[in-house]
Structure 1
Amino acid sequence: MSDRITLATWPTPLEPMPRLAAALGLGEDDLWVKRDDLIGLGGGGNKVRKLEWTLGAALAEGADTLVTTGAAQSNHARLTAAAGARAGLDVVLVLPGTAAEAAQGSGNLVLDSLFGARIHWAGDGDPGTLGQAAEEVCARLRLGGARPYAIPFGGSSPLGARGYVDGGEELLGQLPDVRHVVVALGSGGTMAGLIGALGQERVLGVHCGAVTDPVGTVAALVTELTRRPAAPGSLRIRTDQVGAGYGTLHEPVLEAMRTAATTEGIVLDPVYSGRALAGLIAAVRDGGIRRGERTVLLHTGGLPGLFGHTETVRRTVAALRPHSSG
């Protein structure tokens, strides 16, 4: 059993979203947003709940260095860097791409640097290739006398998923009659943890394209986390918001982001939380979520990554509305 450490102040706020609900055709008391973007550490986001467990395990094992993987604009990598800084550990982030490509870096890369993380650029590669590169980094660190602890892609392991068992139980204390919890499905740990607390029937995951087999990934995590077999066919997972791919802006996602921003002043990102809202909107349209059913959108953070997403920045700035006083 690993020791959980505290990295934030709990609970995070649960806020009603009546104007957004009305825009989607729901009742004004139907839609709420769980503000895990407001977790204080490192710019906020859902990965902090996982890191309370994985960093606790690293410290219990006497580690002096954290090693993890992610996309170049990874929120998990950014928050691992922040958690390592708070705990006094070195952090090495294994990211795809090259230093030359990142020379004009923005968004999460700026914060990775501020938190003191070192970057190992792994070139082109999928999460599996990055995992191999991370193992090689750990081996070299050990040869140099360091004590590395590897945190998996997205922080998603049965241990990390415990953070969202905690989060789901926290949510139940705030809104006991919640019927649907809609969450971005990236590496799968957040959805798996929520299922551990709320059951499969209440959790709707919106696939973001980060893993090739979202159903199998979540089912395996739930099975190991709960010690009960998870039937893949009973998982509620939408795969209709991936569009052209994980890092590519999908038109319904941009529209969902604009709707949230113009009705409630809530900022979502184009990779995760924006996709989650787009999936929620699609579920309302096809009857999977109905008027009168208490629904929570889990805001997983990701604001720094928005400013590192070139296409979204370009499209949004291009749509600026001029004011004419004439």
Structure 2
Amino acid sequence: MNLQHFPRRIYTEYNTPIQPLRHLSKILGGPNIYIKRDDLLGLTGGGNKTRKLEFLVAHALEQGADTLITTGAVQSNHCRLTLAAAVKEGLKCRLLFEERNRKYDPNGNGNLFLDRLMGVEKIKVVPDGTDVVSEMDIMKQELESEGRKGYIVAEGGGNDIGAMGYVNCVHEILEQSQEMEIQFDHIVTASGSGGTHSGLVAGIHDSTVNIPVTGINVRRGKFQQEQKVYGIIRNLVDRLDLHDDVPREAVHCLDDYIGPGYALPSEDTIAAIQLLAQKEGILLDPVYTGKVMAGLIGLVKEGYFSHDSNILFLHTGGTPAIYEFKSTILNQHILG
């Protein structure tokens, strides 16, 4: 799959490392767990959205945009990184926050602090359940009335343009796999806005390997999320003009680890965050990666993976958000 003829900005000048989680693997008694450190991607604070924004912002610049518009939850990693990309490119940025199980605090910590620090031009806050697509259209019209041109970046970068970032990531993973002389038997990732999950599935399907990808849902139920991811894949197949369609059964999501709701961590999520911090020195967040790691640990305990298999956990970032969840994370002394 050749992406070279699509416009792309480069925000990371290196491959993110793949590291063994030896202590975690030993604690669980196998399989061999590795971590792809996309929390170390370029732009402010790192995270998976950086790969998507390389293609999305390039498309925005091609359209002549001077302002990026996007949306997310109150502690959105995607909003933080979209703003960072705008700063990098000399663009303005306006953000739409949806209050999903969390109220907006203009003096909040974590991503909200970074948004203010980087000079977000305007923030609009709407209640949970708002039609955010329509609201972003209104924001774009407001810019037009000011003689400016906005570009709407899909929530989470979750469309076919953004997904190309993780088609590209598959090539990176396979190159590293060869260099490390390790064959990965399974990939586990967060499944939220869908761009990461869909790009991985499409990229692997186009490669010469067959690595199953399991998405751990952070917001939606299994059927709804699988439909969302597959819809992006179908659009991606059309955009890339692929003749070999990706089968629907290649999309596999689990909704067992969502917990009380979006951005509401369960006890297992907190335990996973504490475990990785105390045994591997790696930070996870309560919204995405903590839930995904709780899911991976749960699947290992259920015997989902063979004992000697090599599992790759994709760390999608989100680290700045943990500072807003400090009391939640530290007040539950699950590990002792």
Q: Give the alignment's TM-score, normalised by structure 2.
A: 0.88
Alignment map for 1:272-311 (pairs within 5 Å): 272-309=288-325
Query: Following the alignment from structure 1 to structure 2, what is the Cα–Cα distance between the partners of residues 319 and 67?
Result: 37
Alignment map for 1:58-207 (pairs within 5 Å): 58-97=60-99, 101-126=104-129, 129-176=131-178, 177-199=183-205, 202-207=212-217
Query: Following the alignment from structure 2 to structure 1, what is the Cα–Cα distance between the partners of residues 230 and 116?
Result: 35
3-state SS in 2 of match to 1:96: strand
Aligned to 1:23: 27
Q: Which runs of 5+ in 2 are unaligned?
A: 239-243
Alignment map for 1:252-267 (pairs within 5 Å): 252-267=268-283
Aligned residue identity for 2:214: L
Q: Which runs of 5+ in 1 are unaligned?
A: 322-326
Are positions 1:223 and 2:234 aligned together? yes
Offset at residue 319 of structure 1 (A): 5.0
3-state SS in 1 of match to 2:131: helix
Offset at residue 293 of structure 1 (A): 1.1
Query: Following the alignment from structure 2 to structure 1, what is the Cα–Cα distance between the partners of residues 333 and 214?
Result: 33
Moved more, 79-88 or 250-259: 250-259
Contact 2:144–2:150 (CA<8 Å) still a contact in 1?
yes
Aligned residue identity for 2:28: L
Contact 1:182–1:206 (CA<8 Å) still a contact in 2?
yes
Contact 1:183–1:298 (CA<8 Å) still a contact in 2?
yes
Contact 1:201–1:236 (CA<8 Å) still a contact in 2?
no
* Deviation digits for residues 184-205 of structure 1 (CA, Å, limit 9, x no counterpart): 1110100100111223852110
Q: How many residues were matched structurally? A: 314
Offset at residue 162 of structure 1 (A): 0.2
* Deviation digits for residues 231-280 of structure 1 (CA, Å, limit 9, x no counterpart): 44442211101111011111111111112112111110011111111111
Query: Following the alignment from structure 2 to structure 1, what is the Cα–Cα distance between the partners of residues 332 and 262?
Result: 23
Query: Following the alignment from structure 1 to structure 2, what is the Cα–Cα distance between the partners of residues 250 and 37?
Result: 22
Aligned to 1:315: 328
Contact 1:178–1:293 (CA<8 Å) still a contact in 2?
yes
3-state SS in 2 of match to 1:41: coil
3-state SS in 2 of match to 1:213: helix
* Deviation digits for residues 267-300 of structure 1 (CA, Å, limit 9, x no counterpart): 1001111111111112212222222111111111
State, as a whole percentage, how many aligned pairs show the same letter: 35
Contact 1:252–1:278 (CA<8 Å) still a contact in 2?
yes
Offset at residue 230 of structure 1 (A): 4.4
CA RMSD, Structure 1 to Structure 2 (Å) = 2.1
Aligned residue identity for 2:224: D
Contact 2:202–2:246 (CA<8 Å) still a contact in 1?
no
